[in-house]
């Protein structure tokens, strides 16, 4: 792998815990919060992939709301308009994983440009990083909105290459989503897969260049590379 000149992160599930909304879900249907959050997240992903294949793009916030409506109907757990709005708003303030704030500081200290490339809309990315107080860590917040299609389509990954004005071979892409890591590796980025839960990597003809259990381990690894 070539010397890394920049790092691009996925946002949802990589830097930020999508299931941090489970607590609020639980207030509407006690004991079912994590179940709601899990189905909601899976359907949200499916809707981005299906919308891309259908050529019917909507922004991530609409896909998220549609997925919540499905989840409520599928689990037979009713949510009125106010509850759906509150939950979707909570998705704009999901929490970073515990190790992320410190690890981002350590990575920034390596003098590497840091960026986010997300299926989230420009508004949702900005809202999430601002709510957590981490906006100063990133030089670029890049949204799939600019390509009008979602990852893992190659045109979304190209947005980061174009924005950073670097060859893809020197941009490290970091994701905890194996499908996303596979898409980025297929595009030509070197990839670090964050595998916090001990999952199995998808069989999509690609393999990550490096695997860590948390962002702190990535900071350790890159700091060692620069010594």
- Domains of the chain are 6-16+94-226 (3.40.50.1000), 18-92 (1.10.150.240)
Give me the catalytic one of 10, 17, 59, 145: 10
Q: What is the mean pLDDT of the chain?
A: 96
Higher pLDDT, 223 or 170: 170
108-119 confidence digits (pLDDT tens): 999 999 999 999
25 touches 36 (CB < 8 A): yes
Residue 131 has pLDDT above 80, yes or no: yes
Residue 23: pLDDT band by 50, 70, 90 thresholds? very high
51 touches 145 (CB < 8 A): no
Structure confidence at residue 114 (pLDDT)? 98
The stretch 175-184 carries a mean pLDDT of 98
Whether 10 is catalytic is yes
Q: HEC string of the chain?
A: CCCCCEEEECCECCCEEHHHHHHHHHHHCCCCHHHHHHHHHHHHHHHHHHHHHHCCCCCHHHHHHHHHHHHHHHCCCCCCHHHHHHHHHHHHHCEECCCHHHHHHHHHCCCCCEEEEECCCHHHHHHHHHHCCCHHHCCEEEEHHHCCCCCCCHHHHHHHHHHHCCCHHHEEEEECCHHHHHHHHHHCCCEEEECCCCCCCCCCCCCCCEEECCHHHHHHHHHHHHC
161 touches 171 (CB < 8 A): yes
Structure confidence at residue 225 (pLDDT)? 75
43-79 confidence digits (pLDDT tens): 999 999 999 999 999 999 999 999 999 999 999 999 9
Residue 226 has pLDDT above 70, yes or no: no
């Amino acid at each position: 792998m070539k010397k890394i000149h920049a790092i691009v992160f996925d946002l949802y599930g990589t830097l930020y815990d999508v299931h941090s909304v489970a607590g609020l879900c639980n207030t509407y249907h006690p004991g079912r919060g994590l179940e709601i959050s899990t189905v909601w997240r899976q359907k949200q992903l499916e809707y981005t992939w299906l919308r891309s294949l259908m050529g019917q793009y909507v922004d991530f916030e609409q896909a998220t709301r549609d997925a919540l409506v499905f989840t409520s109907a599928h689990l037979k757990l009713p949510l009125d308009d106010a509850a759906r709005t509150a939950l979707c708003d909570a998705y704009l303030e999901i929490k970073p994983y515990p190790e992320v704030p410190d690890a981002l500081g350590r990575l920034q200290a390596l003098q590497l440009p840091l960026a986010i490339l997300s299926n989230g809309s420009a508004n949702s990315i900005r809202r999430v990083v601002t709510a957590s107080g981490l906006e100063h860590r990133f030089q670029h917040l890049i949204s799939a909105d600019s390509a009008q299609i979602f990852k893992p389509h190659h045109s979304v990954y190209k947005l980061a290459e174009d924005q950073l004005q670097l060859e893809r071979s020197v941009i490290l892409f970091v994701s905890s989503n194996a499908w996303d890591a596979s898409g980025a590796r297929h595009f030509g980025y070197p990839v670090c897969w964050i595998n916090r839960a001990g999952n199995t990597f998808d069989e999509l003809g690609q393999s990550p260049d490096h695997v860590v259990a948390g962002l702190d381990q990535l900071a350790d690894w890159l700091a060692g590379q620069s010594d």
